[in-house]
Amino acid sequence: MDDGVRVTDRWIVPAAELRERFSRSSGPGGQGVNTADSRVELSFDLAGSSSLPEALRGRALARLANRLVGGVLTIAASEHRTQLANREAARERLAALLREAVAPPPPPRRPTRPSRGAKERRLAEKKRQAQRKRDRRVDGE
């Protein structure tokens, strides 16, 4: 559990760079929900991390800008009854979020133009539709 979070094959966030806070969860747990601190808040200082290569850091900071508070990414997990399961869930979510943030951007779309045949078919259908509507008219209109 304390070996860090594997984001990609080449990038592992060390456990020393993660901060965990535990608090009371509002979810399932019966009577024990009032005594057990099963909710987990996992914090990762993305801006100050030494494990993240500089090239990827800029991309991640830009993509996660709306989720960061002072350069720190925080993820909360409280869907499970146990603290251990919530710790695992928070770490998995952190890894998925970071994996998506550092992924290379998709290639730009190359604009295409309709072919001549497609233009002709569109215009022919337009003419047929216009003729159909003309045929429906009553002479008085």
Domain range summary for the chain, segments of one domain joined by +: 5-102
Residues 39, 25 contacting (CB under 8 angstroms):
yes
How many residues belong to the chain?
141
pTM higher than 0.85 for the full model?
Answer: no
pLDDT in tens, 17-69: 888 888 877 766 666 666 777 888 989 888 888 888 888 888 888 888 888 88
Report CA 118 to chain centroid distance, whole Å.
Answer: 37
**CA–CA distance, 18 with 134 (Å, rounded to integer):** 72
Task: Give the Cα separation of 7 and 117 in Å (integer).
Answer: 49
For 5-102, the fitting CATH number among 3.20.20.110, 3.40.50.2000, 3.30.160.20, 3.30.360.10 is 3.30.160.20
